[in-house]
Chains A and B, each alone.
Chain A
């Protein structure tokens, strides 16, 4: 299995809703990442988990809450989002060492209404 699987592919939520994005990989990668990407822009790092522990939080607002239940799963819990949070949310994983590159999922297209 060489994939990162993200669900759902599309999500529309109201500003008062609570929802979660899910990410799964079975490649044995011990680092997992959440990125946010606006149209035609590069991905922006949100969180890094290394060995299931949060190692980097790029000053992300608390309405985004990451969770890593085990080495294969990564969740992003969403609450009270704003319309400007609408974007493609990408999950990625990597082997030990940045020289190996990331494997990205196909993303969740989130629209906040």
Chain B
């Protein structure tokens, strides 16, 4: 089993602050996906990064895939209460159907 270590597990910040969530592994992944999940709902895909060194931006969210494709980060600028939720990274090996390896998740709370 390839482990994905996600940190921090919990993050409680004020509106307007910046934050970074990290996802690290000793294994190489062919792609890394980030999801956000709100209570009582399923995870929603935010982004998929595929190429080592790739950077993708989604409004105030910036995602980066490490050069060696073993780690990834999610940076949120000027967090808002609507960003509150469980953030999950998930790694895929290969390109065919199969299982994702999920990180343990980061519970983010943004206070007004």
Measured CA separation A105–B103 after assembly (Å): 20
Q: Which residues of A contact B97 (CB under 8 A)?
A: 30-31, 48, 50, 55, 94, 96, 98
Q: Is A45 an interface residue (CB 8 A)?
A: yes
Give residues of chain B (84-110) contacting chain A, Cβ–Cβ below 8 Å.
86, 88, 92-100, 102-105, 107
Contact A99–B48 (Cβ < 8 Å): yes
Contact of B48 with A40 in the complex, beta carbons under 8 Å: no
Cβ-defined contact, A102 with B100, below 8 A: yes
Q: Are A97 and B44 in contact (CB under 8 A)?
A: no
The size of the chain A interface, using a CB distance under 8 A, is 29
Contact B102 A42 (CB under 8 A): yes
Minimum CB distance partner of A45 in chain B: B99
Chain B at the A interface: SS class = loop
Which residues of chain A are within 8 angstroms of B44 by Cβ–Cβ distance? 104
Residues of B within 8 A of A94 (CB): 97
**Minimum CB distance partner of A107 in chain B:** B42
Query: Can you list 12 A-B pairs with a CB-CB distance of less than 8 A?
Result: A40-B105, A48-B97, A55-B98, A56-B99, A90-B43, A96-B97, A98-B94, A98-B96, A98-B97, A99-B30, A104-B45, A106-B40
Point out residues on B near A: beta carbons under 8 Å.
30-31, 33, 35, 40-45, 48, 50, 86, 88, 92-100, 102-105, 107
The 7 closest A-B pairs by CB, nearest first: A104-B42, A98-B92, A42-B102, A31-B97, A101-B45, A50-B97, A99-B31
